[in-house]
């Protein structure tokens, strides 16, 4: 079986239709156009596969051209792994067909649910971290991985309410999922800030509790901030630049984990292409500094000296 390439440990961006032409421009510009290049080009691109479930048309013509030059990550928002009825079977078949067509380097979905037997909800709703929910997710992730014939990543959600009867922390839940299914973690650091602020948790402690060896991809995004009489509420809307707190948490994690594939995620109020590239450049600058002090790189350096 031909295995897809891995995502490079460099910054990528979420691919939006308004940027199709510009994404391809750096390569054509290097050949024939004197137009100035952006500060950097994304190293890889992420799409929501549900936007490409149609059989053909312009979206597939663009994605086919882009896939020839960039590794792709499929970030699904529709499997609804936490629904009591299990994964949406039709959604899984469509995702499997798209994976076969494009062979993305990474496939992910969320630690959440978004539908019931008779309804679908346009949101990614959190689940309680209980033994019962863990068993349900283990079954559903196994079903997805068996169908796709590949390992998938699961993203930590944004939370707005705490469950009274959680049996374990979010990190413990994710680590047990990985141990039971072989899946990996997509660590959304903006979601850490959102959940920690809304639930009164320690964001640094949440970041420090994640095993970096299980994290194969990182998301960085912005959020909305609402001031209420009883406190601040953060909304995970992906509609603004990455916050300074999220950048600080990112640097803290990278200093321990080393380089990882990291995505600038911006889904609403989508900015100019250059703004996304500038955010990606900032992520690269942080990784260049912080990853050099990581235990991962220190271990590699020690091993290199030992072999010299």
Domains of the chain, each with CATH number or no CATH: 11-15+40-292 (3.20.20.150)
Which ranges of 209-265 would DSSP assign to H, the alpha helix?
244-257
> What is the pLDDT at residue 269?
94
> What is the pLDDT at residue 230?
87
Tell me which residues of the chain have a pLDDT lower than 50.
1-2, 27-38, 298-308
From CA 233, how far away is CA 305, in angstroms rounded? 50
DSSP assigned state of 210: S
3-state secondary structure of 220: strand
Model confidence, pTM: 0.90
In sequence order, which residues have a C-beta less than 8 Å from that of residue 89 and are 6 or more positions away?
none
CA 223, chain centre distance (Å):
15
CB 231, CB 200: distance < 8 Å: no
CB 211, CB 172: distance < 8 Å: no
- Sign of the Cα torsion 258, 2, 178, 90 reads positive
- Strands of 50-180, DSSP E: 72-75, 106-110, 113-115, 120-125, 153-155
For residues 271, 7, 55 and 268, what is the CA-based torsion angle, rounded to 10 degrees?
-20
> What is the pLDDT at residue 140?
97
Name the helix (H) or strand (E) containing 184: strand 184-188
From CA 26, how far away is CA 41, in angstroms rounded? 7
């Amino acid at each position: 079986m031909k295995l897809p390439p891995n995502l490079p440990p460099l910054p990528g961006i979420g691919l939006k239709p308004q940027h199709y032409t510009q994404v391809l421009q750096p390569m054509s510009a290097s050949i024939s156009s004197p137009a100035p290049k952006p500060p950097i080009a994304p190293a890889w691109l992420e799409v929501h596969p549900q936007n490409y479930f149609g059989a053909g048309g312009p979206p597939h013509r663009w994605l086919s051209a882009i896939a020839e030059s960039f590794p792709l990550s499929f970030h699904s928002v529709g499997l609804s792994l936490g629904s009591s009825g299990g994964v949406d079977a039709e959604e899984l078949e469509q995702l499997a067909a798209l994976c076969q067509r494009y062979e993305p380097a990474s496939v992910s979905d969320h630690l959440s649910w978004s539908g019931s037997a008779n309804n679908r909800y346009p949101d990614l709703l959190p689940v309680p971290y209980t033994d019962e929910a863990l068993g349900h997710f283990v079954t559903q992730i196994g079903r997805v991985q068996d169908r796709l014939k590949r390992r998938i990543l699961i993203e930590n959600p944004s939370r707005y309410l705490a469950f009274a009867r959680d049996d374990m922390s979010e990190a413990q839940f994710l680590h047990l999922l990985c141990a039971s299914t072989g899946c990996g973690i997509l660590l959304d650091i903006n979601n850490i800030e959102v959940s920690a602020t809304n639930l009164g948790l320690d964001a640094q402690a949440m970041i420090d509790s994640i095993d970096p060896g299980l994290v194969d991809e990182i998301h960085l995004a912005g959020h909305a901030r609402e001031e209420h009489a009883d406190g601040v509420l953060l909304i995970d809307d992906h509609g603004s630049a990455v916050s300074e707190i999220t950048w600080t948490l990112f640097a803290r994690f990278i200093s321990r984990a080393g380089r990882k594939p990291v995505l600038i995620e911006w889904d609403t109020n989508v900015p100019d292409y250059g703004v996304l590239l500038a955010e990606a450049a900032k992520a690269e600058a942080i990784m260049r500094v912080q990853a050099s002090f990581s235990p991962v790189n220190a271990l590699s350096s020690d091993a290199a000296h030992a072999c010299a």
